[in-house]
C-alpha cells in the first residue's frame, strides 16, 4: 500500500534521529543503580542479552520501522480522507442527526432517520437506527452548518486534536520524567487500534476517552467542577462513561457527580428541545430503535467481528445454547466485578476511606467500561489508562521491589493483551481473514469465531485480570513498605 521509496527513507531517518535523542533514562539511570529488581539474575541475563550488538540493533530497527509504518499509514489515511469523496462510515449518522435537529425533527424516529439518511447520503435500505441519547444533539449541532465533506474535514481536525490531548494526558499520568519512558508511553498509546480507527471511521470514542482522561487528571487536583463537566459531556455515550458515575459515588465525590448530572441533564433537555421532541416520545422512539439496533449483524454477539466486549464470549463459545451462553458471559463479568470490589475495599481500608482517586482504579473502571457492556473496536481507545498503569507499575517494581517471576509474568500478560489491541491483530489479521467469508450471513467457521476472531475479547479479559491482580498485590506491597520502608519486598 505504501512503497518504501525516497520519502519513506527520509521518514525512517528522521524517526531514527528523534528516537535516538529521546531514548535516554535521564534521572532514572541514577535512581536505578541500587535497584534490587535489576540486580536479579534473571534481569542481569536479560540485560546482557539485549546489550549484544546484533540484538540491540534489531530491537532499535524494529521500533523505528514500527513507528515509521504508523506515521506513513496515518499520513496516507489523512490524505485519503481528504479526497473529494471519502468513505464517511460512522460520521454519516452524526451528520444526518444534526441535519434533522436543524429542522426540529427527531433523529430518534427510525422511519424519519432512514428516509433522511437515504436522501442526504444516497445510501438506502435497512440501516442501523440512531441510538444515542438526546444530550449528543447540542454537541453535534454545528455539523449541519457545513456540507458533509466540509463537516467531515472539521471532524478530522477535531480527532487530531483529541489524539494530541490523549497523548499529553497519558504523559501527565506517567510517573517518570525520563525521555525514554515518555517516548515508550507515547508510542504505546498511539499504537492502540482505536486511536486511528476512530479517526478513520469518524466515530466519537476518542472524544469520550479524552474527556475521561482529563476528568481523572482534574479530579486528582480536586478541580471537581471542571472534572464534573468533562464527565457530563462524556455521558453522550453512556456505554463507555456511565460506570465512572458509580465510581465517583463510591468515592464520595458527590459534588463532582452533581456537576456531571447537571451538565448531562441540561444537554439532554436542550437536545430534546432542538429536535422538537418530548421526553415520552423520545423514550418510545428509543426503545423501538434499540430493539432494531440489536438485530443488526454488526451488533449481534453471535456474528459480529468488531465487538470486543465480554458479552460476546458466551454466545461465540455456545452458539446453540443461548441461556448458557448468556450465563457464561454474565459469570465472567460478575467475577471481574467481584475482584474490582475486593480491590476497592482493600485500597479504601488502608487509606482510611479517602476520597483520593488512583490510576489503578481508573484503569480498572476503563477496562470494565468496555468489557461489561457493548463496545466496538474503536472503544479500545479506553485502554489508554491501562497502558500508563502498566508502565507505572514497572517503574514502581524497579525502584522499590525485588524481582518476582509471578508478578512479571502477570505484567507481561497484560502487555501482550494490550498488543492484541493493535492494528496487527485487528487490521492485518482479523479484517483480512474476514474478507474470505460472508460474515453478515453467519458463514464464519465456529473454530475461527472462538479463536482468532475472539482474540480482542479475550485480550480485554486478560488486561482486566492482569491489572486487577497487579493492583491487589500492590496494596499488600505498599502496606509492607509502610511499616518496613528499608526492606525491599517480593510478591
Report whether 265 contacts 231 (CB < 8 A): no
* Average confidence (pLDDT) over 75-81: 87
Which residues have C-beta within 8 Å of that of residue 310, sequence separation ≥ 6? Answer: 329, 332, 333, 336, 371, 372, 457, 460, 461
> What's the whole-model pTM score?
0.92
**Rounded CA separation 276/103 (Å):** 9
Chain segment 9-20, per-residue pLDDT in tens = 888 888 888 888
Chain segment 296-316, per-residue pLDDT in tens = 877 888 888 889 999 999 999
* Band of pLDDT at residue 187, cut at 50, 70 and 90: very high
The mean pLDDT of the chain is: 89
Chain segment 42-67, per-residue pLDDT in tens = 989 998 998 899 998 899 899 998 99
Give the model's pLDDT for residue 238: 93
Q: Which of 459, 428, 453 is nearest to 73 (CA)?
A: 428
Domain residue limits, the chain: 1-26+41-81, 305-491
Amino acid at each position: 500500500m505504501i512503497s518504501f521509496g525516497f520519502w519513506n527513507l527520509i521518514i525512517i531517518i528522521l524517526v531514527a534521529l528523534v528516537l535516538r535523542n529521546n531514548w535516554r533514562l535521564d534521572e532514572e539511570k541514577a535512581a536505578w543503580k541500587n535497584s534490587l529488581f535489576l540486580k536479579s539474575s534473571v534481569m542481569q541475563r536479560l540485560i546482557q542479552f539485549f546489550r549484544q550488538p546484533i540484538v540491540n540493533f534489531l530491537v532499535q530497527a524494529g521500533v523505528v520501522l514500527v513507528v515509521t509504518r504508523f506515521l506513513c499509514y496515518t499520513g496516507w489515511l489523512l490524505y485519503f480522507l481528504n479526497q473529494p469523496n471519502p468513505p464517511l462510515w460512522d460520521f454519516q449518522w452524526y451528520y444526518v442527526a444534526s441535519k434533522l435537529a436543524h429542522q426540529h425533527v427527531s433523529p430518534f424516529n427510525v422511519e424519519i432517520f432512514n428516509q433522511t439518511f437515504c436522501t442526504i447520503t444516497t445510501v438506502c435500505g435497512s440501516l442501523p437506527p440512531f441510538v444515542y441519547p438526546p444530550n449528543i444533539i447540542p454537541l453535534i449541532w454545528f455539523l449541519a452548518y457545513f456540507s458533509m465533506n466540509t463537516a467531515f474535514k472539521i471532524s478530522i481536525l477535531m480527532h487530531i486534536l483529541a489524539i494530541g490531548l490523549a497523548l499529553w494526558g497519558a504523559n501527565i499520568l506517567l510517573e517518570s520524567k525520563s525521555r525514554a519512558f515518555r517516548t515508550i508511553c507515547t508510542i504505546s498509546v498511539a499504537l492502540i487500534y482505536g486511536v486511528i480507527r476512530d479517526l478513520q471511521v469518524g466515530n466519537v470514542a476518542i472524544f469520550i476517552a479524552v474527556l475521561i482522561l482529563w476528568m481523572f487528571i482534574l479530579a486528582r487536583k480536586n478541580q471537581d467542577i471542571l472534572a464534573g463537566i468533562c464527565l457530563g459531556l462524556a455521558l453522550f455515550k453512556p456505554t463507555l462513561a456511565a460506570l465512572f458515575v458509580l465510581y465517583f459515588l463510591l468515592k464520595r465525590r458527590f459534588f463532582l457527580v452533581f456537576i456531571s448530572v447537571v451538565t448531562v441533564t441540561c444537554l439532554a433537555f436542550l437536545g430534546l428541545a432542538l429536535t422538537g421532541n418530548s421526553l415520552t416520545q423520545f423514550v418510545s422512539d428509543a426503545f423501538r430503535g434499540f430493539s432494531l439496533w440489536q438485530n443488526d449483524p454488526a451488533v449481534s454477539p453471535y456474528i459480529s467481528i468488531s465487538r470486543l466486549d465480554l458479552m460476546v464470549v458466551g454466545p461465540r463459545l455456545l452458539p446453540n445454547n443461548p441461556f448458557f451462553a448468556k450465563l457464561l458471559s454474565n459469570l465472567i463479568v460478575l467475577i471481574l466485578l467481584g475482584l474490582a470490589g475486593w480491590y476497592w475495599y482493600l485500597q479504601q481500608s488502608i487509606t482510611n476511606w479517602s476520597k483520593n482517586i488512583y490510576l489503578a482504579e481508573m484503569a480498572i473502571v476503563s477496562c470494565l467500561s468496555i468489557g461489561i457492556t457493548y463496545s466496538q473496536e474503536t472503544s479500545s481507545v479506553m485502554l489508554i489508562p491501562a497502558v500508563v498503569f502498566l508502565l507505572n507499575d514497572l517503574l514502581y517494581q524497579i525502584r522499590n521491589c525485588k524481582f518476582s517471576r509471578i508478578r512479571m509474568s502477570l505484567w507481561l500478560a497484560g502487555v501482550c493483551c494490550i498488543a492484541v489491541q493493535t492494528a496487527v491483530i485487528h487490521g492485518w489479521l482479523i479484517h483480512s481473514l474476514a474478507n474470505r467469508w460472508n460474515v453478515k450471513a453467519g458463514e464464519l467457521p465456529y473454530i475461527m469465531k472462538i479463536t482468532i476472531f475472539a482474540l480482542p475479547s479475550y485480550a480485554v479479559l486478560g488486561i482486566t485480570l492482569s491489572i486487577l491482580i497487579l493492583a491487589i498485590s500492590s496494596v499488600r506491597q505498599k502496606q509492607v513498605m509502610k511499616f518496613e520502608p528499608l526492606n525491599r519486598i517480593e510478591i
